[in-house]
Amino acid sequence: MSDRRRQVFFGARLFDGLTMRDDRALVVEDGAILAIAPTAERPRDVEAVDLAGGVLAPGLVDWQVNGGGGALFNAAPTPETIAAMAAAHRHAGVTSILPTVITDSPAVLAAALLAAAEAARVTPGALGVHVEGPFIDPRRKGVHLAEFIRPMRDRDVEQLVLARSGAMVVTLAPAAAGPERIARLAAAGIVVSLGHAEATAEEARAAFAAGARAVTHLFNAMSQLGSRAPGLVGAALADPRIVCGLIADGQHVHDAAMRAAINVKGAGGVALVSDAMPPAAGGPSVFMLQGRRMRREGSRLLDDFDTLAGSAITLLDAVRYVVGALGLPLAEALKMATATPARLLGLDGRIGGLAPGARADLIHLDDRLNLRGVWLAGAPQQT
């Protein structure tokens, strides 16, 4: 007699990462997706989960998470912090995160790399690490501390390559790294994303040719699109290979600019991010970032100079925003939060989609996009 655990989820529309599918049941075995079958042909001798309406979708994938639930990765770069962040965001439907360390001291970066490698081995939903700085442009630093911003050196490349365990994104400015170092990172399987950069379109295109594959929080902290000086924004929008991160919170980017980017890139070229800080996913409204007081005002996070300091949203909030405020179809919004980031990170086939062999990380949304259930490898989670 088999001791395998089999489940069948039915009664809801299925979003498989690309399209909505009606009258289908999802069969899960031992935490992985086994099959999608017509509802009438679903197995009857297994654990049945009748969802009674709504949408069953892959768990959300957030590739830029600074904190959440009161935790902040820079403040305590440990595996325990990553576990706390992952748990907080999981309660909001995000089953995979890339903990993000922003520009800081060499000691903090080294600790973050070690913590992320350990967490990727032991913490469900922890994918690796997003290194956002210090290899950025001080002219587009945003809330990053100028004292730690510096050019990338060969030994930095070696440190990042050796530290890679799981997925790794490195956000950098072309002027701080150069095409040769970008090519070395890309050849090692690291996703190079351009951001915090005062770059010309020509500099951006050279970085893309060297292997950069993404742009971090499009429109924010970068050279803007002009008719004769397209900047990093224009270069990213013009290149179909480039995936653009987008903070859809109604504060970081104007609705019209978001619509323009999505119209140009499509749901396969935009990967929503939260850029979440400690107030997201149930954290307090005031927190300290590298000795500076940050506060929440409405849906904005600000320092004492009113500089935007990340966001207070979760990725599910971003999905709701692009559906409710921008009027996008739910399938497109969900694709930008599941299949597209999974593909960017090289994890498509494992997460971000409902296909045989993928991990059964699932969310159930009702018709108003309220979260009704979360499963991690087929196991129900508290929401």
Mean per-residue pLDDT for 346-373? Answer: 98
Q: Tokens 């009258």 belong to which residue?
A: 23
Which amino acid does the sequence have at 197?
A
pLDDT digits (tens, 9 = 90+) for 315-341: 999 999 999 999 999 999 999 999 999
Q: Provide the mean pLDDT of the chain.
A: 97
CA 90/CA 337 separation, integer angstroms: 14
Least Cα distance to 2 among 46, 63, 53, 34 occurs for 46
Least Cα distance to 299 among 280, 315, 324, 271 occurs for 280
Question: Using an 8 Å Cβ cutoff, are 184 and 155 in contact?
Answer: no
Return the pLDDT at 3. 67
pLDDT digits (tens, 9 = 90+) for 47-92: 999 999 999 999 999 999 999 999 999 999 999 999 999 999 999 9
Band (349; pLDDT cuts 50, 70, 90): very high
Return the pLDDT at 299. 78
Please give the tally of structural domains in the chain: 2
Least Cα distance to 67 among 305, 312, 248, 246 occurs for 312
Mean per-residue pLDDT for 364-374? Answer: 98
* 186 and 224 both lie in a single domain: yes
CA 240/CA 144 separation, integer angstroms: 29
* 237 and 210 both lie in a single domain: yes
Question: Using an 8 Å Cβ cutoff, are 58 and 36 in contact?
Answer: no
120: number of Cβ within 10 Å: 22
Kindly compute the dihedral angle of the four CA atoms of residues 95, 124, 351, 45, in this order, to the nearest 10 degrees. Answer: -90
Name beta bridge partners: 49: 9
* 50 and 70 both lie in a single domain: no
Share of the chain above pLDDT 90, in %: 97
Strand 191-194 versus strand 214-215 pairing type: parallel
Band (1; pLDDT cuts 50, 70, 90): very low
* 66 and 175 both lie in a single domain: yes
Strand 191-194 versus strand 300-302 pairing type: unpaired
Residue 178 resides in a domain: yes
* 36 and 71 both lie in a single domain: no
Residue 1 resides in a domain: no
Question: Using an 8 Å Cβ cutoff, are 94 and 59 in contact?
Answer: yes
Can you give the CATH number for the domain in which 287 is found? 3.20.20.140
CA 139/CA 173 separation, integer angstroms: 10
Can you give the CATH number for the domain in which 25 is found? 2.30.40.10
pLDDT digits (tens, 9 = 90+) for 271-324: 999 999 999 999 999 999 999 999 999 878 999 999 999 999 999 999 999 999
* 365 and 301 both lie in a single domain: no
pLDDT digits (tens, 9 = 90+) for 114-136: 999 999 999 999 999 999 999 99
C-alpha separations of 139 from 206, 221, 252, 275 in Å: 20, 9, 18, 20
**H or E element that contains 335:** helix 330-335
CA 284/CA 68 separation, integer angstroms: 9
Three-point CA angle 345, 188, 353, nearest 5°: 15
Band (2; pLDDT cuts 50, 70, 90): low
CA 149/CA 205 separation, integer angstroms: 23
Active site residue 23: no
* 98 and 187 both lie in a single domain: yes
* 27 and 114 both lie in a single domain: no
* 101 and 14 both lie in a single domain: no
Return the pLDDT at 4. 81
Range of the domain at 13: 6-57+353-381
* 10 and 92 both lie in a single domain: no
Return the pLDDT at 199. 98
Residue 357 resides in a domain: yes
Neighbour-count burial for 154-193, b at 16+ CB within 10 Å, e otherwise: eebbebbeebbbbbbbbbbbbbbbbbebbbbbbeeebbbb
DSSP string, 198-263: ---HHHHHHHHHHT--EESSTTTTBPPP-SS--HHHHHHHH-TT-EEEEE-SSSSS-HHHHHHHHH
CA 351/CA 308 separation, integer angstroms: 31
* 115 and 211 both lie in a single domain: yes
Question: Using an 8 Å Cβ cutoff, are 54 and 365 in contact?
Answer: yes
Token digits of residue 336: 């930008």
pLDDT digits (tens, 9 = 90+) for 133-167: 999 999 999 999 999 999 999 999 999 999 999 99
User: Per the residue annotation, which of 16, 62, 156, 275 is the catalytic one?
Assistant: 275
Band (382; pLDDT cuts 50, 70, 90): confident
Residue 299 resides in a domain: yes
Cis-peptide, bond into residue 240, ω within 30° of zero? no
* 207 and 283 both lie in a single domain: yes
CA 263/CA 93 separation, integer angstroms: 26
Question: Using an 8 Å Cβ cutoff, are 267 and 335 in contact?
Answer: yes
Question: Using an 8 Å Cβ cutoff, are 301 and 268 in contact?
Answer: no
Residue 22 resides in a domain: yes
pLDDT digits (tens, 9 = 90+) for 218-266: 999 999 999 999 999 999 999 999 999 999 999 999 999 999 999 999 9
